[in-house]
Amino acid sequence: MSDVQYYAMPAGHQIAYRHAAGASPTLVFLPGYMSDMDGGKATALFEWARARGQACLLLDYSGCGRSDGTFAEGTLSKWRGEVRELIRTKVDGPVILVGSSMGGWLNLMVGMTLGQQLAGLIGVASAPDFTEWGRSDADKCRLAAGETVLDDNPYGPEPTPMHPGFWADGQANLLLGGNIPIMCPVRLLHGQNDADVPWDISMRLADALQSKDVVVTLVKDGDHRLSREQDIARLLAIVEELL
Protein backbone atom coordinates (compact mmCIF):
# COMPACT_ATOMS: atom_id res chain seq x y z
CA MET A 1 0.00 0.00 0.00
CA SER A 2 2.88 2.36 -0.74
CA ASP A 3 0.59 4.39 -3.00
CA VAL A 4 -1.65 5.58 -0.15
CA GLN A 5 -2.02 9.37 -0.21
CA TYR A 6 -3.70 11.87 2.11
CA TYR A 7 -6.15 14.65 1.37
CA ALA A 8 -6.81 17.49 3.80
CA MET A 9 -10.55 18.05 4.08
CA PRO A 10 -11.82 21.64 4.43
CA ALA A 11 -12.45 20.90 8.12
CA GLY A 12 -8.75 20.07 8.51
CA HIS A 13 -8.70 16.29 9.00
CA GLN A 14 -6.75 14.00 6.68
CA ILE A 15 -8.48 11.35 4.57
CA ALA A 16 -6.41 8.41 3.29
CA TYR A 17 -7.02 7.35 -0.30
CA ARG A 18 -5.59 5.47 -3.27
CA HIS A 19 -6.09 6.78 -6.77
CA ALA A 20 -5.18 5.08 -10.05
CA ALA A 21 -5.39 7.36 -13.06
CA GLY A 22 -6.83 5.87 -16.22
CA ALA A 23 -9.77 5.63 -18.54
CA SER A 24 -13.16 7.05 -17.62
CA PRO A 25 -15.51 6.33 -15.92
CA THR A 26 -13.74 6.23 -12.57
CA LEU A 27 -14.61 3.33 -10.26
CA VAL A 28 -15.14 4.55 -6.69
CA PHE A 29 -15.32 1.89 -3.96
CA LEU A 30 -17.15 2.62 -0.69
CA PRO A 31 -16.35 0.20 2.17
CA GLY A 32 -18.76 -1.14 4.75
CA TYR A 33 -19.29 -0.31 8.41
CA MET A 34 -15.98 -0.22 10.31
CA SER A 35 -14.19 -1.38 7.16
CA ASP A 36 -11.52 0.30 5.04
CA MET A 37 -9.85 0.26 1.64
CA ASP A 38 -7.57 -2.67 2.57
CA GLY A 39 -10.46 -5.15 2.29
CA GLY A 40 -10.43 -7.97 -0.23
CA LYS A 41 -13.06 -6.58 -2.61
CA ALA A 42 -11.62 -3.05 -2.60
CA THR A 43 -8.07 -4.31 -3.20
CA ALA A 44 -9.15 -6.69 -5.95
CA LEU A 45 -11.12 -3.97 -7.72
CA PHE A 46 -8.23 -1.50 -7.52
CA GLU A 47 -5.64 -3.93 -8.85
CA TRP A 48 -7.99 -5.12 -11.62
CA ALA A 49 -8.69 -1.52 -12.65
CA ARG A 50 -5.03 -0.53 -12.59
CA ALA A 51 -4.06 -3.57 -14.69
CA ARG A 52 -6.54 -2.61 -17.42
CA GLY A 53 -5.87 1.12 -17.28
CA GLN A 54 -9.19 2.03 -15.66
CA ALA A 55 -9.39 4.95 -13.26
CA CYS A 56 -10.19 3.88 -9.68
CA LEU A 57 -10.49 5.63 -6.32
CA LEU A 58 -10.49 4.03 -2.86
CA LEU A 59 -10.70 5.81 0.49
CA ASP A 60 -10.92 5.36 4.24
CA TYR A 61 -13.73 7.30 5.90
CA SER A 62 -12.72 9.49 8.84
CA GLY A 63 -12.28 7.35 11.94
CA CYS A 64 -11.51 4.29 9.81
CA GLY A 65 -8.30 2.76 8.52
CA ARG A 66 -5.53 5.31 8.04
CA SER A 67 -7.75 8.41 8.07
CA ASP A 68 -7.89 10.91 10.93
CA GLY A 69 -10.72 11.02 13.41
CA THR A 70 -12.57 8.69 15.74
CA PHE A 71 -15.17 6.19 14.62
CA ALA A 72 -17.59 7.34 17.32
CA GLU A 73 -17.90 10.70 15.53
CA GLY A 74 -18.60 9.18 12.12
CA THR A 75 -21.97 9.46 10.39
CA LEU A 76 -23.30 8.68 6.94
CA SER A 77 -23.73 12.38 6.22
CA LYS A 78 -20.16 13.16 7.26
CA TRP A 79 -18.75 10.33 5.16
CA ARG A 80 -20.92 11.33 2.19
CA GLY A 81 -19.27 14.76 2.34
CA GLU A 82 -15.82 13.18 2.37
CA VAL A 83 -16.60 10.99 -0.64
CA ARG A 84 -18.08 13.94 -2.53
CA GLU A 85 -15.02 16.08 -1.79
CA LEU A 86 -12.61 13.45 -3.08
CA ILE A 87 -14.69 12.92 -6.21
CA ARG A 88 -14.81 16.67 -6.76
CA THR A 89 -11.05 17.09 -6.48
CA LYS A 90 -9.68 13.79 -7.84
CA VAL A 91 -12.14 12.67 -10.54
CA ASP A 92 -12.74 14.10 -13.99
CA GLY A 93 -15.86 12.88 -15.76
CA PRO A 94 -18.35 10.15 -14.91
CA VAL A 95 -18.12 7.70 -12.02
CA ILE A 96 -19.39 4.23 -11.18
CA LEU A 97 -19.98 3.83 -7.44
CA VAL A 98 -19.35 0.38 -5.94
CA GLY A 99 -20.59 0.02 -2.36
CA SER A 100 -20.29 -2.90 0.06
CA SER A 101 -22.83 -3.37 2.88
CA MET A 102 -23.11 0.07 4.51
CA GLY A 103 -21.25 1.36 1.46
CA GLY A 104 -24.31 0.25 -0.50
CA TRP A 105 -26.35 2.76 1.53
CA LEU A 106 -23.72 5.45 1.23
CA ASN A 107 -23.37 5.03 -2.54
CA LEU A 108 -27.08 5.81 -2.88
CA MET A 109 -26.66 8.96 -0.79
CA VAL A 110 -23.61 10.03 -2.79
CA GLY A 111 -25.18 9.04 -6.08
CA MET A 112 -28.18 11.27 -5.54
CA THR A 113 -25.83 14.27 -5.39
CA LEU A 114 -23.89 13.50 -8.57
CA GLY A 115 -26.53 14.08 -11.23
CA GLN A 116 -25.34 13.22 -14.74
CA GLN A 117 -21.86 12.40 -13.40
CA LEU A 118 -23.23 9.10 -12.06
CA ALA A 119 -22.74 6.51 -14.82
CA GLY A 120 -23.55 3.39 -12.81
CA LEU A 121 -24.04 1.99 -9.34
CA ILE A 122 -23.16 -1.43 -7.89
CA GLY A 123 -24.22 -2.69 -4.48
CA VAL A 124 -22.69 -5.75 -2.79
CA ALA A 125 -24.91 -6.90 0.08
CA SER A 126 -26.31 -3.37 0.18
CA ALA A 127 -27.61 -2.38 3.61
CA PRO A 128 -29.68 0.80 3.26
CA ASP A 129 -31.72 1.70 6.34
CA PHE A 130 -29.98 -0.80 8.64
CA THR A 131 -30.41 1.62 11.54
CA GLU A 132 -34.14 0.91 11.14
CA TRP A 133 -34.65 -2.75 10.17
CA GLY A 134 -31.43 -3.90 11.87
CA ARG A 135 -32.27 -2.64 15.37
CA SER A 136 -34.80 -3.80 17.92
CA ASP A 137 -37.21 -1.35 19.53
CA ALA A 138 -35.24 -1.70 22.77
CA ASP A 139 -32.00 -0.82 20.99
CA LYS A 140 -33.63 2.20 19.35
CA CYS A 141 -34.75 3.47 22.74
CA ARG A 142 -31.23 3.12 24.14
CA LEU A 143 -29.70 4.85 21.10
CA ALA A 144 -32.27 7.65 21.18
CA ALA A 145 -31.34 8.18 24.84
CA GLY A 146 -27.68 8.65 23.85
CA GLU A 147 -26.37 5.19 24.74
CA THR A 148 -23.94 3.23 22.56
CA VAL A 149 -25.15 -0.28 21.73
CA LEU A 150 -22.59 -3.09 21.40
CA ASP A 151 -23.20 -6.08 19.13
CA ASP A 152 -21.43 -9.43 18.84
CA ASN A 153 -18.79 -9.28 16.12
CA PRO A 154 -18.48 -12.45 14.01
CA TYR A 155 -15.36 -11.06 12.29
CA GLY A 156 -13.20 -10.17 15.29
CA PRO A 157 -12.75 -10.33 19.08
CA GLU A 158 -14.06 -6.85 19.85
CA PRO A 159 -17.81 -6.05 19.84
CA THR A 160 -19.19 -3.83 17.09
CA PRO A 161 -20.48 -0.51 18.43
CA MET A 162 -23.35 1.54 17.11
CA HIS A 163 -23.07 5.07 18.42
CA PRO A 164 -26.12 7.29 18.95
CA GLY A 165 -24.87 9.95 16.52
CA PHE A 166 -24.53 7.44 13.69
CA TRP A 167 -27.93 5.92 14.44
CA ALA A 168 -29.71 9.30 14.52
CA ASP A 169 -28.12 10.34 11.24
CA GLY A 170 -29.08 7.03 9.69
CA GLN A 171 -32.69 7.50 10.78
CA ALA A 172 -32.62 10.92 9.10
CA ASN A 173 -31.46 9.33 5.82
CA LEU A 174 -33.80 6.36 5.42
CA LEU A 175 -34.44 5.53 1.75
CA LEU A 176 -36.42 2.32 1.32
CA GLY A 177 -39.77 3.86 2.18
CA GLY A 178 -39.88 6.11 -0.89
CA ASN A 179 -38.65 6.52 -4.45
CA ILE A 180 -34.87 6.79 -4.79
CA PRO A 181 -34.11 9.29 -7.59
CA ILE A 182 -31.28 7.39 -9.26
CA MET A 183 -31.73 6.77 -12.99
CA CYS A 184 -28.43 5.14 -14.02
CA PRO A 185 -27.88 1.39 -14.51
CA VAL A 186 -27.79 -0.41 -11.14
CA ARG A 187 -26.48 -3.88 -10.34
CA LEU A 188 -27.13 -5.48 -6.94
CA LEU A 189 -25.28 -8.59 -5.74
CA HIS A 190 -26.40 -10.42 -2.59
CA GLY A 191 -25.72 -13.77 -0.92
CA GLN A 192 -28.73 -15.75 0.24
CA ASN A 193 -26.70 -17.05 3.21
CA ASP A 194 -26.07 -13.49 4.38
CA ALA A 195 -26.45 -13.54 8.18
CA ASP A 196 -26.09 -9.75 8.54
CA VAL A 197 -28.22 -8.21 5.78
CA PRO A 198 -31.26 -10.19 4.59
CA TRP A 199 -31.18 -10.62 0.82
CA ASP A 200 -34.70 -9.24 0.52
CA ILE A 201 -33.20 -5.80 1.30
CA SER A 202 -31.72 -5.83 -2.20
CA MET A 203 -35.17 -6.71 -3.59
CA ARG A 204 -36.72 -3.81 -1.68
CA LEU A 205 -33.98 -1.53 -2.94
CA ALA A 206 -34.60 -2.61 -6.53
CA ASP A 207 -38.27 -1.69 -6.11
CA ALA A 208 -37.46 1.71 -4.59
CA LEU A 209 -35.01 2.80 -7.29
CA GLN A 210 -36.45 4.92 -10.10
CA SER A 211 -34.02 3.44 -12.62
CA LYS A 212 -35.55 0.95 -15.03
CA ASP A 213 -32.18 -0.72 -15.57
CA VAL A 214 -31.79 -2.65 -12.30
CA VAL A 215 -30.54 -6.24 -12.11
CA VAL A 216 -30.36 -8.24 -8.86
CA THR A 217 -28.04 -11.26 -8.71
CA LEU A 218 -28.58 -13.69 -5.83
CA VAL A 219 -25.79 -16.08 -4.83
CA LYS A 220 -27.43 -19.08 -3.17
CA ASP A 221 -24.40 -20.11 -1.08
CA GLY A 222 -23.01 -16.59 -0.67
CA ASP A 223 -22.39 -15.04 2.74
CA HIS A 224 -22.36 -11.37 3.71
CA ARG A 225 -18.81 -10.60 2.68
CA LEU A 226 -18.93 -12.19 -0.80
CA SER A 227 -15.14 -12.20 -0.80
CA ARG A 228 -14.45 -15.70 -2.07
CA GLU A 229 -12.53 -15.99 -5.33
CA GLN A 230 -15.70 -16.79 -7.27
CA ASP A 231 -17.57 -13.91 -5.62
CA ILE A 232 -14.91 -11.39 -6.55
CA ALA A 233 -14.80 -12.77 -10.10
CA ARG A 234 -18.58 -12.27 -10.30
CA LEU A 235 -18.25 -8.69 -9.02
CA LEU A 236 -15.53 -7.87 -11.55
CA ALA A 237 -17.65 -9.30 -14.35
CA ILE A 238 -20.49 -6.99 -13.30
CA VAL A 239 -18.11 -4.02 -13.26
CA GLU A 240 -16.83 -4.92 -16.71
CA GLU A 241 -20.39 -5.19 -18.02
CA LEU A 242 -21.21 -1.66 -16.83
CA LEU A 243 -17.98 -0.28 -18.24
Q: Cα separations (Å) of 224 from 58, 110, 123, 170, 220? A: 21, 22, 12, 20, 12
Among the listed residues 19, 163, 190, 224, the single catalytic one is: 224
Q: Does the active-site annotation cover 35?
A: no
Among the listed residues 35, 62, 101, 202, the single catalytic one is: 101
Q: Among residues 113, 115, 102, which one has the least CA distance to residue 29?
A: 102
Non-local CB neighbours of 147 within 8 Å, separated by 6+ positions = 164
Alpha helices in 91-163 (DSSP H): 103-114, 130-133, 137-144
d(CA 75, CA 60): 13
Q: Does the active-site annotation cover 194?
A: yes
Tell me, rounded to whole angstroms, the distance of Cα 150 from its chain centroid. 21
d(CA 143, CA 157): 23
- Count other C-beta atoms under 10 Å from residue 21's C-beta: 13
Among the listed residues 60, 129, 169, 194, the single catalytic one is: 194
Burial 56-75 (b: 16+ CB within 10 A, else e): bbbbbbbbbbbbbbeeeebb
**DSSP structural state of residue 27:** E
Q: Does the active-site annotation cover 196?
A: no
Contact 36, 65 (CB under 8 A): yes
- Among all residues, which ones are annotated catalytic? 101, 194, 224
